[in-house]
Amino acid sequence: MFLDGFIRMCSDGFSQGWHERNGGNLSYRMTEEDVDAVKSTFTSSPRHCSMAFSAPELRGAYFTITGSGKYMRNVPLAPEKNIGIIRIDESGTGYDILWGLVDGAKPTSELPTHLMNHTARMKATGGACRVIYHAHPANTTALTYVLPPEAKAYSRVLWQSETECAVVFPEGVGVVDWMVPGSIDIGRETARLIKDYRAVIWTFHGIFGSGSDFDETFGLVHTIEKAAEIYLKARGAGIIRTITDDELRALGDAFGVEINKAFLE
Ligand code: 13P
Ligand code: ZN
């Protein structure tokens, strides 16, 4: 059941230490079967909310989404208070809250980035992408203090920090330099990058990851965070050697993945 997977991801992220206070948020674009499985629990008098942006490609789509100001650690204890199900209305500029988000709660303040990312990844993957996840992992965020805000610099450092990385995200990662969170502008900029990179790092803030299911999305963010941790440990100790570009090319050949040539030297 999708709701179990959603709730498990919230609690796994908290266990990793990626969700201090209300940090981070999660959204899942539901399938027709998902909707059928839970529609008997939908309210007959939904709360309608309008958005300051439009998401025309998502008209009629249903999302399970975390609430603004809600703590990931509380999601398993009281799902209906901390998460909800929304349906984007026919105008594409608002939504109805059909289940959960009780007591006047609203979806995450990062709704613009979530919905714009869903639109971008839905197009990039022919509809396969369903999960958008925002977390505040410490090592990934620390990395943003020591690297220039360029996709090539981050992608190379991460690929070089753990052999798995170039296979897991051969396209590299995108980077958004500091912007006001929760804004429509940061949503647009993140979505522009996430069509090419499944993960986008927000400078001095955290990361957005995407994927077709919860495992894939959590695994992607986990892999990036682990590589960032290894890099920072190695950098602290003093790096004397690393994975070479020829070794990265050999990985691509062995695993049949196209490693982004623009980032190889
Ligand atoms: P929300 O509580 O509104 O989801 O915000 C948390 C966050 O991480 C903002 O970037
Ligand atoms: Zn955040």
C-alpha–C-alpha distance, residues 175 and 206, integer Å:
10
Per-domain boundaries in the chain: 1-109, 110-265
Q: Give the residue from 31, 69, 27 showing the smallest Cα distance to 187.
A: 27
Is the domain 110-265 a CATH 3.40.225.10 member? yes
Q: How far is the CA of 23 from the centre of ligand 1 (A)?
A: 5
For residue 172, the model assigns a pLDDT of: 99
With a 6 Å cutoff on the Cβ, whether 181 touches ligand 1 is yes
d(CA 34, CA 141): 34
Q: For residue 234, how far is its CA from the centre of ligand 1 (angstroms)? A: 31
Residue 238 CA to ligand 1 centre (angstroms): 35
Distance between CA atoms of 205 and 207, rounded to whole angstroms?
A: 7
Q: CA angle 235-238-243, nearest 5°?
A: 70
Q: Over its length of 265 residues, how does the chain's per-residue pLDDT go in tens digits?
A: 999 999 999 999 999 999 999 999 999 999 999 999 999 999 999 999 999 999 999 999 999 999 999 999 999 999 999 999 999 999 999 999 999 999 999 999 999 999 999 999 999 999 999 999 999 999 999 999 999 999 999 999 999 999 999 999 999 999 999 999 999 999 999 999 999 999 999 999 999 999 999 999 999 999 999 999 999 999 999 999 999 999 999 999 999 999 999 999 9
Q: From the alpha carbon of 109, which atom of ligand 1 is closest?
A: 3
- Ligand 1 atom with least separation from CA of 67: 4
252 lines ligand 1 (CB under 6 A): no
The answer to whether the beta carbons of residues 128 and 198 sit under 8 Å apart is: no
Task: State the CB neighbour count (10 A cutoff) for residue 257.
Answer: 15
Q: What is the per-residue pLDDT for 21?
A: 98
* pLDDT in the model for residue 191: 98
Task: Answer yes or no: 110 catalytic.
Answer: yes
> How far does residue 233's CA lie from ligand 1's centre (Å)?
28
Q: How far apart are CA 232 and CA 239, in angstroms?
A: 10
CA distance linking residue 86 with residue 65, whole number of Å: 8
Ligand 1 atom closest to the Cα of residue 22 is 2
Please tell me the CATH code under which domain 1-109 is placed.
3.40.225.10
Of 25, 72, 133, 140, the one to substitute when testing ligand 1's pocket (max ligand atoms within 8 A of C-beta) is: 25
How is 32-65 classified by DSSP, letter by letter? HHHHHHHGGGS-SSPEEEE-SS--GGGTT-EEEE
1-109 and 110-265 share one fold:
yes
With contact defined as beta carbons under 8 Å apart, do 83 and 70 qualify?
Answer: yes
pLDDT of residue 232: 98
> Which among 14, 20, 22, 133 is the best mutation to test ligand 1's pocket, defined by most ligand atoms within 8 Å of the CB?
22
Q: Is 260 in the pocket of ligand 1 (CB under 6 A)?
A: no
Catalytic residue among 90, 110, 189, 216: 110
Please report the pLDDT score of residue 161 as a whole number. Answer: 98
